Chains A and B, each alone.
Chain A
Amino acid sequence: MSELPEEAFAAALAGLDRMTVNRLNVLLNQVTPRDAFAIAVGEARPIGLASQLFAIDGLATAWRQSAAVRSPERVWDECCRHGISVLVRGMPGYPEPLLHDPSPAAVLFVLGDLGRITARRAGIIGTRNATGSGRDTATTLGRDLAAAGVHVVSGLARGVDGCAHRGSLSVADGAAPLAVVASGLDVVYPREHAHLWRQVAEHGAVVSEAPPGTLPEAYRFPLRNRILAALSEVLVVIESRARGGSLITVNEARDRGILVMAVPGALRNRAAEGTNALVRDGCPVVIDVDDVLVGLGLDSRRAGGVAYDPRPRPRGSDVEFVDLLCEPRTLDQLVLLTGHSLVDCAMVMARLESNGWVHQVNGWFERVGDAT
C-alpha cells in the first residue's frame, strides 16, 4: 500500500458514494489525501470540520462500504490503465484558474495533457439540438479561434459543443482544444463522439471531476458546467433555449466575473430564444471571431484571407431558392413562396443538396454555411 502515490487516495475519495464537492473539499483541505482517506474509512479520527461530516446519518457506513469495493489500488489501477492522470488541488500541475474558485474541484481527472493549454481560453457552449446555422457558427468560431491561437473550451456534448471542438481540431496547428465532461473519462458520452473524444485528448485535454467508471448522471452536468465556466476567460453562447442548460453555465460564469457573450439568432428560431434574451439583457454580441478576440483583449486584425469555397455557385432560379433558405423551410413553404410546382421545387433542392448548398432534416431544408 505504501507504494501508492497520494493521488491514488484522492481519486478513491472522489469516487466514494455520497461524496459531494463540499465534503471532498473539507476532507482534503486539512490533511494529505492519504490521511483523508484513512479518516473517511474510519481508520483515523476526524479533525476539525471533518468530524461534523460523520454526524450525518449513515455517511460513515456508506463511505466505508464503497471504499471496500473501490479501493485506492483499484481506482489507481484503472486510472493507469486508461492513461488518466489525477490532479489534486494544492499539488503541482493543478490548473491555476481553478485554485481560487468559489467551489473548486478538489480532484481533477485528465486525459491528454493540460500542459498544452498555455494561451488564452474561450468557452463555446450551446444547445444539443442546434439548428444547422447554429452548428455552422460553432464550427466556424471553433476553427477561427484555434487559428488565432485561442484554446476552445467546451463540453463534448452533441450539437454546438461537438461542432466547436471539430472546428478547432480542423486547424492544422491551432491552439489545443480543452473539453470538460461530466462522466468518467472512460465513459464516452454521447457514444457517437468517441472519435472526437479521442482526438481532443490526443491534441489537447479532456477534464472531468469524476473518477473512471462514473456514468453521465443528469446532476453531474450542472457541476461540470461550473468547471467549464471557471476554465474559460470569455464564454460564448451559440443558441440556447429559453431554459437551456447553457444558461446554467452562463450564471456560473457571471458568478466568477467571466465575460459572457452571445451569438444572436433568428427571432423564430426557438433554439436561439435563450441567446436572444441574453442579447436583450445587454450581453455583448458575437458575430465573428474578432468579437471574441476583442472580448479577450487580443489584437483583432484578421489573419489570412477568406477561405475558398469549392462549391459550384447556384445559377438561374436556384439563387432565389438559396436566398429563401435564410431560415429553415419545408418543401410546402417553398412551393407557396416560389410558385413553382412541387416536383420542380424538389428537383432544385436535390440539385442544391448534391452541390452541398442545402441540407435536409426531417423534411426541413437548411442552408449550409461555408464552414465545411
Chain B
Amino acid sequence: MLAAITSATLLGVEGHRVVVEVHVSSALPSFTIVGLPDEVCREARDRVRAAVLSSGFSWPSKKVTVNLAPSSQRKVGAGLDLAIAVGILVADDLIGADAVAEFGFVGELGLDGSLRPVAGIAPMVAALGAVRAVVPVASRHEAEVISEFGVVVGRTLRDVVEALKGQAPWPTPPADDYVEEIVEVPDLADVRGQPLARQALEVAAAGGHHVLFVGPPGSGKTMLAQRMPGLLPPLTPQVSLVATMVHSAAGVRLPSSALITRAPFRAPHHTSSIVALVGGGTASLRPGEISLAHGGVLFLDELGEFSPAVLDGLRQPLEEGVVRVARARASATLPAQFLLVAATNPCPCGGGAPGSCECDDGARSRYLRRLSGPLLDRFDLRVPVHRPEVDELLVGEGGESSLVVAERVARARGVAHERNGCLNAAIPATLLDALAPLEAAAQQLLRTELERDRLTGRGYHRVRRVARTLADLDALGDEVVRERHVVMALQFRVRLSPLLRGRAA
C-alpha cells in the first residue's frame, strides 16, 4: 500500500515542501528511508518505530520503504518524524488516505510517542502549501504567525491519529499559555555624562550609520552599545516576519507571542568562528549571528580580537544586506541587514589621556593593523569614548531617557525616508549635493579639512551623510546642512593610525 504525506524541511531560512511517500509491501520485514536524509533524519527510523509501538499501534511486519521527495534535495532534522509515522499508519490502512490529504505535518517524535518542537517551524509551515499545519503544542504560536491555512496541534502521536480518524477533536491548547513578557531594555538614562557618545548613539540610530567606539577599558563602550536597540523604532511588519523566520530557523528562543517586534541585539564573543557569525554551519545552513541581528544591532566588542577572516566575512553582507552562503550541496541567501556597533581599545594597553600610553610602536601598529583597512571604512561614526570623570559619575545628570531620544530618532528617520526613500547612511554619493546641500561656511570647513589631508574622499562623503542626520535631528527641520552639523560630524571621526598621532612627531 502507498501513502503520500505533506511535510517540509529547512534550508537556510526557507522551508521546502517535502512529500513523504511510504510504501508497505509483503516481503521480508525491513524499514528503509531514502531521499537524501541527513544523520538526524535517518535516525527517524528508530524514533518512529518506537513512537508508533508505544502509542499502541502495531508495526507492519512487512517491507517499509520511505521516500522523501524531491529525492535530490537534502532533508535535515527531525521535523519529518511525524509525517513518516502518519505515512506508515496510512499505508498500513490504520488511517484513511483521504483523512490526511488536507494536512501537512511537522514535528519530532519522542520514543513515548510525544510530539516535540523543532527549529524552523515558521519557515517550514510557510512551505507546506494550501494545507492545515499539524505542529507540536509548543510550536503553535510560531506556526500561527505565518500560516494562512490554519494550524492544529497535537501533544502525542495518538492525539493526531485519533483526530485524523474523527474519533476525537483536535486538542485545544491551554489558553493561558500566552503571557506578555516584559523585556527589560537598558535605558539611556542610566548613562552618566558621556554627551558625545550619547549623541553618537542617537545619530547612528537615526541615520543607520555603523558606529565604532574607541576608548580605554572601563569607559562604558559596552554599556552604550546595549542601549542602541532601545533607540530604534519597532520593526516594520515585513522585517518583523523575516526576523521571526530567522530566529525560528536558527532555533533561537522566540518571545511568547512568537513574533519578533523589537530590534534584536546580538553580541557574539570575539572567539566566534566565521560560520557562527555568517551562518551555514549545519547541513540546513543555519543562519549566523549577522542574520539573527537582521533589523537590529550586531555588537562586536573588542573588534581587534576577532580573527581577520571573520571580520572580512562581514564586508559583503554590510554592503548588500544579505549573506550568500554556498556549500557543495546547497546554497542559501540569508537576510543580514543590521546596524553594526563595535568597540575597541585604541591600543593594547588601553590608552587614555595623551602621554599615558605605554605600548611600543610595534605592538601598537600590530594591534591597529588588525582593524585597519576596508572594515574601518564602513564605520560612518568613529567615536572616542573616555573614562568619565569622578564628578560626572557622582553629580552628572542621568540625561534623557531612551524614550525621549527614540522619539527624536523616529521623527528624523521619517524625515529622511520622505526625502531620500532610504536612511541617510544609504544616500549614494552622487545624490549628496541634491539631498544634503551644504551652506557656504560648512563647505569651506570641509574644503579646509580636505586640503589639510585630514579627510579622505570617502571620509568626506561619510561626514556629509552624518551631518545630514545631525541636521535631521535638529528640531528646526532645516533642508540645508549647517556648519554646526559638519563640525559635530567631524568630531565622530577619531583617527586610528599609529603614525598620525601627533602634530609634530
Contact = CB atoms under 8 A, between A and B. Distances in A.
A135 B505 CA distance: 8
The 7 A-B residue pairs with the shortest CB-CB distance, nearest first, are A363-B384, A271-B355, A131-B355, A270-B356, A131-B354, A350-B487, A330-B386
- Where chain B touches its partner, the secondary structure class is loop
A239 B355 contact: yes
Interface in A315-337: 328, 330-333, 335-336
Interface string B352-376: 1111111001000000000000000
B304 to A, nearest CB: 15
B174 interface: no
A159 interface: yes
Contacts of A343: 484, 487-488
Interface string B413-439: 000000000000000000000000000
Name, among B196, B361, B504, B505, the residue most crowded by chain A CB atoms within 10 Å (CB to CB): B505
B36 interface: no
A270 B499 contact: no
A226 interface: no
A361 interface: yes
Contacts of A364: 353-354, 384, 386
Interface residues on B, range: 35 or more
Nearest to A163: B504
B392 A336 contact: yes
Nearest to B382: A363
29 contacts: A128-B361, A129-B355, A129-B357, A130-B355, A131-B353, A139-B504, A162-B504, A269-B353, A270-B356, A271-B356, A330-B386, A331-B195, A331-B491, A333-B386, A335-B196, A346-B487, A346-B491, A350-B445, A350-B487, A350-B490, A362-B354, A362-B384, A362-B494, A363-B384, A363-B494, A364-B353, A364-B384, A364-B386, A368-B503
Contacts of A21: none
Nearest to A342: B195
B214 interface: yes
Interface of B: 193-197, 199, 214-215, 346, 351-358, 361, 384-386, 388-389, 391-392, 396, 445, 448, 483-484, 487-488, 490-491, 494-495, 499, 501-505
Given A162-B505, A361-B501, A272 B355 contact: yes
Nearest to B474: A343
B504 A362 contact: no
Nearest to A271: B355
Nearest to A347: B487
A154 to B, nearest CB: 12
A166 B354 contact: no
A361 B502 contact: yes
Nearest to A157: B505
A281 interface: no
Contacts of A30: none
A132 B335 CA distance: 48
B353 A354 contact: no
Contact of B353 (A163, A192, A270, A342): A270
Contacts of B346: 362
A196 to B, nearest CB: 10
Contacts of A241: 358
Interface in A342-372: 342-343, 346-347, 350, 354, 359, 361-364, 366, 368, 372
A158 B396 contact: no
B488 A362 contact: no
